[in-house]
Amino acid sequence: MIMIYFDYAATTPVDTRVVNKMLPYFNKEFGNPSSIYDLGKSSKYAINFARKEIADAINCYPEEIYFTSCGSESDNLAIKGIAKANRVKGNHIITSKIEHPAVINTCKSLEKEGFEVTYLDVDKNGFVNINELEKAIKNNTILISIMYANNEIGTVQDVDKIGEIARKRNIIFHTDSVQAVGNIRIDVRKSNIDSLSMSAHKFYGPKGVGALYVRSGVNFNRQQDGGHQEKEKRSGTENVPGIVGMGYAISLANNEIESHTEKIKYLRDLYIKSIINEVPNIYINGSLDKRLPGNANISYLGIKGAKMVELLNERGICASSGSACSAGLIKPSNVILATTKNSNIASSALRTTFGKYNTIDDINYLVENIKDIVKKYR
């Protein structure tokens, strides 16, 4: 059975070079990094090597990197940790309406604990309005959390501008960069980013490992009680093979970013151009220029996104609708509702995300099948 993958924003296959790098850490170099004999020290060395690889990739110091279990945990640790540690200064947080649930639900949970959260609107392409962001800042604002790039529509925010405003006003700036790391060159110093979350499985690393950068000098509280690991900010024996894999995956991604971006963008644009030319009654979600290289999100009006995903699956194609299915009800994408305010567009969105293993033949197969499905089921 054919299987063609267009869901690289959901997760990526682990690069074979990364798998090979990880393998010894399962059963040869298996020591606990907290143990003080040589086997333990060797694991500790491997973790700190990976910490340096990650720090180099985003231009920070290795001491500013904390390992976690995933992007969601990094967002929780950053937002809850920063909010609670800085509560004496204020209780107001600014975020946007199109954040990932790892951010939105963390903010909702903080609201229950007495924090006040402003959820900024976005324009039709998914951009936060910088004037509105500035207007939302109050004397008690302690944290701005705006994602680097959106997971559904791929829109890349003006992170430099947001960082500049936050730094000027002495407000901590966290950015959920789970979709950006590995796809966009990131420089936390240049962009005035105080805190940034990432997840290895989005850049050809393993699942179950994430990292959080927090600029030294920024206070944040641990969210989990236990041992002294990660400078007492994140207790729990480290996932050594995962961390080794994450470090190597990010250094590969950064070394290969230009060539991969060029190829992936070409394939993505080929798909979009072909669909514009050959399929009527469509709507392209998100910005066409400031967008993740591998993201295309197109609403095929008249066909539910979830139905399209099902029909494509029958033809061996993996894609995503962005809509969440809860209790048997298919809810239209809240991100596309926020950008278009149109439930027909939101419920007919199809997200295809392209990666380094896709080919031109894959794109042709995708376009042919979408044309056929649209003809038969619209």
Stretch that binds ligand PLP, among 47-55, 69-77, 161-169, 349-357 (CB under 6 A): 69-77
Kindly state whether residue 198 participates in binding ligand PLP, applying the rule CB under 6 A: no
Token pair in block for residue 103:
């951010």
| Residue tagged active-site, from 60, 107, 318, 325 | 325
DSSP H/E element including 105:
helix 101-112
Residues in contact with ligand PLP, counted by CB under 6 A, come to a total of: 13
Distance CA 284, CA 30 (A): 49
Are residues 176 and 152 in contact, defined by beta-carbon separation less than 8 angstroms?
Answer: no
Least distance to ligand PLP from the beta carbon of 338, Å? 15
Are residues 93 and 143 in contact, defined by beta-carbon separation less than 8 angstroms?
Answer: yes
Stretch that binds ligand PLP, among 26-34, 65-73, 111-119, 352-360 (CB under 6 A): 65-73
Sequence-separated (6 or more) residues with CB below 8 Å from residue 138: 90, 92
> If you search the block for the tokens 């600029």, which residue do you land on?
215
Q: 225 φ, ψ to 5°?
A: -85, 150
Pick out residues in 83-122 that bind ligand PLP (CB under 6 A): 100, 102
Residue closer to ligand PLP by CB (options 234, 370) is 234
The total of other beta-carbon atoms located within 10 Å of residue 61's CB is 13
Distance CA 162, CA 104 (A): 18
Are residues 188 and 58 in contact, defined by beta-carbon separation less than 8 angstroms?
Answer: yes
Kindly state whether residue 179 participates in binding ligand PLP, applying the rule CB under 6 A: yes
Kindly state whether residue 151 participates in binding ligand PLP, applying the rule CB under 6 A: yes
Which one among 31, 71, 205, 242 touches ligand PLP, defined by CB under 6 A? 71
Kindly state whether residue 147 participates in binding ligand PLP, applying the rule CB under 6 A: yes
Are residues 252 and 235 in contact, defined by beta-carbon separation less than 8 angstroms?
Answer: no
Residue whose C-beta lies closest to ligand PLP: 71
Q: Tell me, yes or no, if 70 is annotated catalytic.
A: no
Kindly state whether residue 70 participates in binding ligand PLP, applying the rule CB under 6 A: yes
Kindly state whether residue 53 participates in binding ligand PLP, applying the rule CB under 6 A: no
Active site residues: 325
Residues that bind ligand PLP (CB under 6 A): 70-72, 75, 100, 102, 147, 151, 176, 178-179, 199, 210
